[in-house]
Amino acid sequence: MPIAEPSAEELALLQDEAVRFTRELIRIDTTNFGGNDPATWGKGEAEAAAYVVARLEEVGLAPSTHESGPGRVSVLVTLPGEDRERGGLILHGHLDVVPARAEDWSVDPFGGEIRDGMIYGRGAVDMKDMVGMMLALVRHLARNGQRPPRNLLVAFFADEENASVWGAKWLAEHHPELFAGYTEAISEVGGYSITLPEAASGQDVRAYLLQTAEKGLAWGKLRATGRAGHGSVPNDENAIVRLARAIAAIDAHEFPQEIVASVRALFDGVTEITGTGWDEDDLASFLPLLGGARQFVAGTLRDSANLTMLEAGYKVNVIPQVAEAGIDCRFLPGHDEELLALLDELTGEHVEVIIEHHGVSTDAPRTGPLVEAMREAIEAEDPGAHVLPYCLSAGTDNKPLSQLGITGYGFVPLQLPTDLDFAPLFHGVDERVPVDAVRFGARVLLRTLRAS
C-alpha cells in the first residue's frame, strides 16, 4: 500500500525513534582520522553499521553490507516503490564523524546527552541526526507495510569525512549496479532554517535553505624539497623556508569574488522576503541577514585554499630535505583546473602540489517535482515559511553519486532557534541539535517521501 497519513500513535513513534536513534548512534564512536592506512582505522563504523542492520532487521527488512576495507562498512536497503518504472530516489547519510577532543567539550562528545532541549555529541548535526531520521522512516514504512511512490534506496555510507574514498566513492566505482535506475538523491547540509524579517507582514519568518549546489574540493599537500644539512651551516636551499614562502604566497592571494547562480538565487530570495537589497561590492552588510548560515554562504563567494597541516624535520640540528603542508582547496563550478594552475604558480619551482582527493562540484535544478515535494512538506509543517536554494561550501556523498548521473540535494529539515549559530557546529566543539528539530525533520521527511 502507498504511504498513508500516519495516526497520532504512529507519528509519535516515528519521532521518538528518530531522537533515540540519533542519541544511540552518537554513543558509537565512529571517529574517522582520515588516510588510507588500515592500521589507523577504528572499528566504530563497523559497529555503527551493525547497529543499523539490527534496527532494520527488527522490522523484517534485509539490508546488504559492503565492506571496502577492514571495518569500512556501508549498509544499503531497498524499498520497492508503487511505480517501479520511474527513476528511483536515494536517501543517504554517513556513519563516520570527525575527531573530537573530550577536554575541549562541556559534555562527553560521545555521550548523546540531552541538555536544555539539545542533543549533544559529535555527529549531532553531521550527520547522525539525519541517520536517526532515516532509520525511523524506514522502520515506519516497514512496520505499516507501506511503499514509497517510487523505488527508494536508503544508504548508510562509511568514510564520508575522508572524501568518501572507502564509502560512497568506492561503491560508485566498484558497484555502480547498486545505483542503477536511481535518478535523484537527498542527503546532508541543507533544509535547516534561518529567521528573516518579512517586509510584507512585518513579522519574522523562517526560510529553509535547500542545498542545490556544492563547491568542488581538492585535498592534498605541498611538498617542498631542498638540501639537507647541519643546523649550524648556512643553507640557501632549506626545504622549510621554501615551504614557508609558498604558504605565505597562498595566504596572501586574494581570490576574486564570483556570485554563482545558486548563490544569486538565494540572495534574490532573501531580498524578496526582507525588502533588503544586496550589492556585490558590499556583501559584508548583507550576509548577517543569513544568521546561522552566513559562514557556509560566505564560503561560496570565491575559491579558497587553506593550509591545514605541517610536517617537517626529525631533529633540531638537522635541516631536512623535505617539508610538507596539508592543503584544503574548494572551488566553484568550472574552476578546478584554474585553481590548480594558480597553486603551481604561487608555490614556485621547488614546491610540488600533490592532489590526493578530488571531488567534483555539483549543481542541481532548483525546480522540479522533488523540489516541490520538499517545499510542500516544509510549508505543511511550518505554514508561512519559505524555501530558498543555496550552495554549500563543503562537500557531501552527493559528489560520487553525481558521477553516476544522480542529481543530489541537501535536505535535513531542521527548524532551528533564531539565535543558534548553526554553521560553526559542524566539526565544532559542543556540536548539538535541538530535540524538537529532529522530531520536526522526521515529520517533514515522511511528507517528502509521500509526495516524491
pLDDT computed for residue 333 by the predictor: 84
Task: Say what the alpha-carbon torsion angle 166, 167, 169, 172 is, to the nearest 10 degrees.
Answer: 120
Residue partners of 284: CB distance under 8 A and separation at least 6: none
In degrees, to the nearest 5, what angle opens at C-alpha 321 toward C-alphas 315 and 323? 80
Nearest CA-CA partner of 105 in 425, 446, 436: 425
Quick one: fold of 217-256+305-359? Alpha-Beta Plaits (3.30.70)
How far, in Å, CA of 32 to CA of 159, rounded?
Answer: 7
pTM over 0.85: yes
Helix (H, G, I), strand (E, B) or coil at 43: coil
How far, in Å, CA of 442 to CA of 95, rounded?
Answer: 18
DSSP 205-238: EEEEEEEEEE-EEEEEEEEEE---EETTS--TT-
pLDDT computed for residue 354 by the predictor: 96
Q: Do domains 8-196+361-451 and 217-256+305-359 have the same CATH topology?
A: no
- Domain map of the chain by residue range? 8-196+361-451, 217-256+305-359
Would you give the DSSP letter of residue 366? S
Kindly give the parts of the chain with pLDDT less than 70.
none
Helix (H, G, I), strand (E, B) or coil at 26: helix
Q: Three-state SS across 163-209?
A: CCCCCHHHHHHHCHHHHCCEEEEEECCCCEEEEEECCCCCCEEEEEE
Quick one: fold of 8-196+361-451? Aminopeptidase (3.40.630)
Q: Which residue type occupies 406?
A: I
Would you give the DSSP letter of residue 257? P
pLDDT computed for residue 415 by the predictor: 98
